[in-house]
Chain A
Amino acid sequence: MTVKELKTEEFMVNMGPQHPSTHGVCKLVIKMDGEEIKEITPHVGFLHRSIEKIGENRTYAQFVPYTDRIDYVASMNANHAYVIAAEKLGGVEVPERAEYLRVIMAELNRIASHLVWLATFAIDLGAVTPFLYAFREREMILDLFEMTCGQRLTYNYMCIGGVNWDIPKEFEPKLREFLKIFPSRVDDYEDLLTNNPIFLYRTKNIGILSKETAFEYSVSGPSLRGSGVKWDIRKAESYSIYDRFDFDIPVGYNGDAWDRYRVRMREMRESAKIVQQAIDGLPGGDIQTKVPRTWKPPEGEVFTRIEAPRGEMAYHIVSDGSTKPYRMKIRTASFCNLQVLPIIGINHLIADLVAIFGSLDIILPEVDR
């Protein structure tokens, strides 16, 4: 009997819910033909905490700590998305210094988030060293956050009308020190990975996401830019004070895992550039506009969106004029980005699925909310 005559059949494999490379609790049901993937069905919802419903039962100020938990790797950005929406709803002016501090924190958090992504992506592909280096640099950012707001992960830093804490005096020298060494550290990561033949073999032409598919599934963030679409809310629909800074939007060409990697690596450098400009131009003054403790925004609804590290994060808040929102809808990038996995993941080997999943940079609390 030859191999061709052997009767083979497709079989199902459960990847997750507890799988180290799903970075959270996500179950992928994979139909396999030998080593090849024929179909992927993501099962989400394991981490559902009904944050939107909680938002309708908390006052506007009380909801800020919850936004930290939507995207715990980039809490500052999640805070930012919410406070911008609430401020627009209530017509609250934010002091200039607070805006600068917000941008500094949000961009530092973007770097930290990309570092976590880089570390876990590399370790998924078997490279352990970048993991340690990336976490070392992330530690410097977390130290900055900790000295400012007292927490390392769930910051609750921004509040409606400004920010909760001003930066302490040790912050600036530490930040400048970080900005000085950071570009060389990115060079180190790139030396380790970018042209490493094993890494290239694992990521080049793997999980190609075409522009059209990306549009159809409203993919956003670096995953979209990896496909060559120059779309960044910071530039396209500038919020906060991003229009004052000079930075580029890195894009890829093929939309494969390697392009998404390159986009994120270059984004880290761009973010460092923004932080540098922001700290140089940091004005003095107040950090908070007075907002009464029981704050009632007028009736109406708002929709705002920001560029979070994983893509567009948007808030739709409907207010009925009371202290709590009437309805809150949160759009998170990871949920949409996950939807393309069944399309770009098929006809690859199962080992490549880890690379594709990692390159999309999905965070499960954001998928489920």
Chain B
Amino acid sequence: MSLVRQTTNGIYNLILGLAVTVKHLFKHAITLQYPKERWTMPERSRGTVVLLSDTETGKLNCTACLMCEKACPVAAITIEREKNPETKKFEPTSFTIDMGICCYCGLCEKACNFSAIKLTGKYEMSIYDKSELIYDMDFLQKLGRDVKYEKRKRVVKKTAVKKATAKPKTTEARAESGDKKAEGTSSTKDDGDVKEKPKNETEEGKE
């Protein structure tokens, strides 16, 4: 008796499962033929890191404040900078990102107060040699040419620049003086950053 019951039960459930499969037979495909078709990456997509340039002057937005270098958890960013004798402002002389060790966390973008660095939706970066994954400044700038972005408010930028230039320091001196000094400048800058950011985002959320 129980054997009959078991068998009918089993057959019923097998058919039930089969029915689910058949139901899906007539639905359209959800896959994408990759090289021919591509996903549109969402706006916030965190792929290749690029450096952004000013849309008018075409110069890099980066002021070589080294905040992103400090924020990076894997030390993928290396910046060398020099003071421009004319404008008395720092300018990056070399800016390299090792994409091979970058973990695409986005902390550099979060740390930057000058809308100078961004993670974009670009993801096709396969190469044959590992050394080609170390992107230099020119390449990063080239990558960032067509990236649309919203510049942070000028006000924030100006005050932040003042602070940065008020304490001229070389990379070594900053490194030697340890965390404490850097902390002072960073936390003041941070205020401007944090104030602005949640505002933008909450607005976005409410819309």
Using a CB–CB distance below 8 Å, which chain A residues touch chain B? 58, 61-66, 97, 129, 133, 136, 139, 146-151, 154, 156, 164-169, 188, 191-193, 195-197, 284-288, 290, 292-294, 323
**Cα distance A62–B194 in the bound complex, in angstroms:** 17
Q: Is the CB of B190 within 8 A of A188?
A: no
Known A154-B103, A284-B202: A65·B13 in contact at CB below 8 Å: no
Question: Is B73 an interface residue, CB under 8 A from the partner?
Answer: yes
B residues 68-113 touching A (CB-CB < 8 Å):
71-73, 103-107, 110-111
Known A150-B42, A164-B106, A166-B205: A133·B24 in contact at CB below 8 Å: yes
Q: Is the CB of A168 within 8 A of B10?
A: no
**Cα distance A148–B45 in the bound complex, in angstroms:** 9
Q: List 29 A-B contacts (CB under 8 A).
A: A62-B72, A62-B107, A63-B73, A66-B73, A97-B202, A129-B21, A146-B45, A147-B44, A148-B44, A150-B44, A164-B106, A166-B205, A168-B204, A169-B205, A169-B207, A188-B20, A191-B20, A195-B9, A197-B9, A287-B201, A288-B198, A290-B190, A290-B194, A292-B186, A292-B187, A292-B190, A293-B186, A293-B187, A294-B182
Q: Which of B20, B103, B207 gathers most chain A CB within 10 Å?
A: B20
* Nearest CB of chain A from residue B38's CB, rounded to whole Å: 15
Q: Is the CB of B44 within 8 A of A149?
A: yes
Q: Is the interface of B mostly helix, strand, loop or mixed?
A: helix
* Nearest CB of chain B from residue A72's CB, rounded to whole Å: 12
| Number of chain B residues close to chain A: CB under 8 A | 46
Q: Is the CB of B202 within 8 A of A166?
A: yes
| A168 CB contacts on chain B under 8 angstroms | 43-44, 204-205
Q: Is the CB of A154 within 8 A of B104?
A: yes
Given contact pairs A65-B107, A195-B16, A290-B194, a sample of 20 additional A-B residue pairs in the complex whose CB atoms are under 8 Å apart: A58-B73, A63-B73, A129-B17, A136-B30, A147-B43, A147-B44, A148-B44, A167-B205, A191-B17, A197-B6, A197-B10, A197-B13, A284-B202, A284-B205, A285-B202, A288-B194, A288-B197, A288-B198, A293-B71, A293-B190
Question: Is B183 an interface residue, CB under 8 A from the partner?
Answer: yes
Q: Is the CB of A294 within 8 A of B187?
A: yes
Question: Is B50 an interface residue, CB under 8 A from the partner?
Answer: no
Q: Is the CB of B73 within 8 A of A65?
A: yes
**Cα distance A63–B72 in the bound complex, in angstroms:** 10
Q: Is the CB of B42 within 8 A of A293?
A: no
B residues 147-201 touching A (CB-CB < 8 Å):
179, 182-183, 186-187, 189-191, 194, 197-198, 201
Q: Is the CB of A287 within 8 A of B198?
A: yes
**Cα distance A279–B103 in the bound complex, in angstroms:** 30
Q: Is the CB of A151 within 8 A of B104?
A: yes
Across the A-B interface, give the 9 residue pairs with the lowest CB-CB distance, nearest first.
A197-B10, A150-B46, A65-B105, A166-B201, A62-B73, A150-B44, A166-B205, A195-B13, A294-B183
| A58 CB contacts on chain B under 8 angstroms | 73
Q: Is the CB of B106 within 8 A of A197?
A: no
Instruction: Kindly report which residue of chain B lies nearest to residue A187, judged by CB atoms.
Output: B20
| A147 CB contacts on chain B under 8 angstroms | 42-44
| A149 CB contacts on chain B under 8 angstroms | 44, 46
Q: Is the CB of B42 within 8 A of A294?
A: no
Instruction: Kindly report which residue of chain B lies nearest to residue A132, judged by CB atoms.
Output: B24
**Cα distance A166–B30 in the bound complex, in angstroms:** 28
**Cα distance A193–B198 in the bound complex, in angstroms:** 45
| A165 CB contacts on chain B under 8 angstroms | 44, 201
* Nearest CB of chain A from residue B49's CB, rounded to whole Å: 12
Q: Is the CB of B45 within 8 A of A150?
A: yes
* Nearest CB of chain B from residue A284's CB, rounded to whole Å: 7
Question: Is B206 an interface residue, CB under 8 A from the partner?
Answer: yes
Question: Is B1 an interface residue, CB under 8 A from the partner?
Answer: no
Q: Is the CB of B183 within 8 A of A169?
A: no
| A323 CB contacts on chain B under 8 angstroms | 179
**Cα distance A169–B204 in the bound complex, in angstroms:** 7
